[in-house]
Structure 1
Amino acid sequence: MTTPPMQTPPPADRRTDPIRPTDDQARALGKQLLRGARFGSLATLGPDGHPSASLVSLATDIDGTPLILVSALSSHTGNLKADPRCSLLLAPGGKGDPLAHARITLKLRARQIERASEAGARIRRRFLARQPKAALYADFGDFCFFALDLEAASLNGGFGRAYELTPSDLLSDTVAASALAGMEEGAVAHMNEDHADAVRHYATALLGAVDGAWRLTGLDPDGADLARGDQALRLPFPAPVATPGELRSILVELAAAARKTG
């Protein structure tokens, strides 16, 4: 009887790559997590080189760059000034096993914002629209805004759904964001003051939210941010917009769609 040759076992460290190819579904989920977050866990590097995590309130700039408002008395503020490298975990969670829900870790580099600059005024406005209670302390002398410039991201869409994303996968087109930046404040005010019913229908008919005094807090090339008290919603556009005219058109189209659905 011939003894069959022994099979050489594979090396113990040979594993299947768990990272999936990035597709449009992954990009959409990553953008939803980024734009929809009101808080996150910020990890900074302390003087001893050890990571330190803190809970921070969040908003996004018009291109999707995360924004934070921090006190000089907080250790993470000193850490960011000494070493701008940081990361941010966005994990909204849900019912059941928290590991079954989508989350994203952003690799970032912090940049302090000059309050008196044009960008400083826009960032303050967008942050307070998203976090209105922060108006109680936003202008205190020891508070400052940071933009967290995105360098890379790791997305986990649930068990077996891991992706590595680039800034271009998550952020809005810079040319389009610049084109909308000058008119966004006026467009948000106009929608809230003159088209409150349309905003409410965005929330209830298109996003399935409970009825109430919903308002727009921000507009950008990829969607609209809505809020009602402490609740926040993200309404993604069917396709990115690049001009003020395209933004107006998509808002009208979505209002019509919401009326038909509702």
Structure 2
Amino acid sequence: MRAASGDAAGAVDSADAGFAARALMRAASSATLATQRAGQPFASLVTPAITAEGEVLLFLSTLSEHTRQLQAEPRCALLFTGPAAEHNPQTAPRVSVTGVAEALEPGEARDALMRRWLARHPYAALYAGFGDFGLWRIAPGAALLVGGFARATRLGGAALRPDPAAVAAIAAAEAEILAHVNAEHADALRAIARGLLGGGEGAWRMVAADPDGCDLAPAGDAEGRVLRLGFPTPVVDAGGFRAALVAATKAGRAALAG
């Protein structure tokens, strides 16, 4: 595996388990959250979004049991699961992530992260302003990646984080990338969404970008399913992002052509 760049390519181990774990996390529209109260474990369904840095965002109601438990004991775990390769569910790739949750205080930083979460879950705009909801962040401390039956790899928190320089480079270019692609390359987004990701007819727009890929949403449809385009390798700058998007467009058009 090699890191895609507009100028040069740097070597990355082909068994980059951290990148594989992040890909699972970023593609998941839901996850299982494990909390506890007085030593009694509790599991619930949550809807995560992953920041460019690889942190987990959760938008939680204060009325929920898991929120009350996190307020008392912020140590928690999350299980992200991909599709199984066959009828045996143990062939499904998955990653269990442990960390400490923190409720984010109002401010510009929280607002930016809330926009990131809403890009992944646009339907939630209906209740995003409710006073009994809050945005939480979990920085992964460790993880166990299972690539399928009897294929497990333990990871430290650092392995789950993308290269900080790449994160900064894409973050600096994200607004320009989204504006340009959405204004000038609607046909490319449609080819990617339909040809590669199983999306439906109609227009698509890019709503978030990071070193590992990007998120696409149906244009003008807050209820539509957001799709994740994961790159084959992490990119390190805007040039690499463009190259990865061009390759995905070609593959999408080829798939549609049959």
Give the TM interval when normalised to the shorter protein. Answer: 0.7 to 0.9
Amino acid at match of 1:44: T
Quote how far apart the aligned CAs of 1:50 are. Answer: 1.5
* Equivalent position of 1:143 in the other structure: 133
C-alpha RMSD of the superposition? 2.5
* Equivalent position of 1:133 in the other structure: 123
**CA offsets 1:155-177 (integer angstroms, 9 cap, x no match):** 12221111112233332222221
Please point out which of 36, 41, 53 is paired with 1:63. Answer: 53
Amino acid at match of 2:117: F
* Equivalent position of 1:44 in the other structure: 35
Cα distance in 1 for partners of 2:232, 2:179 equals 23
* Equivalent position of 1:201 in the other structure: 191
Cα distance in 1 for partners of 2:40, 2:30 equals 22
Alignment of 1:156-195 (within 5 A): 156-195=146-185
Unpaired runs of at least 5, structure 1 = 1-21
Structure with bigger gyration radius: 1
Q: Is the 8 A contact 1:36 1:232 kept in 2?
A: no
* Identity score, percent: 40
Count of residues in Structure 1 that have an aligned counterpart in Structure 2: 238
SS in 1 for 2:170: helix
Q: Sort the Cα spacing of 1:253 and 1:135 in 2 relative to 1 into closer, same or farther, 3 A.
A: same
* Equivalent position of 1:243 in the other structure: 237
SS in 1 for 2:24: helix
Quote how far apart the aligned CAs of 1:249 are. Answer: 4.2
Q: Which has the higher contact order (CA 8 A, sep 6+)?
A: 2
Q: Sort the Cα spacing of 1:162 and 1:204 in 2 relative to 1 into closer, same or farther, 3 A.
A: same
Alignment of 1:84-103 (within 5 A): 84-94=74-84, 96-103=87-94
Please point out which of 108, 111, 123 is paired with 1:121. Answer: 111
Q: Is the 8 A contact 2:162 2:211 kept in 1?
A: yes
Cα distance in 1 for partners of 2:232, 2:81 equals 24
* Equivalent position of 1:108 in the other structure: 99
* Equivalent position of 2:208 in the other structure: 218
Scaled by the length of structure 2, the TM-score of the pair is: 0.81
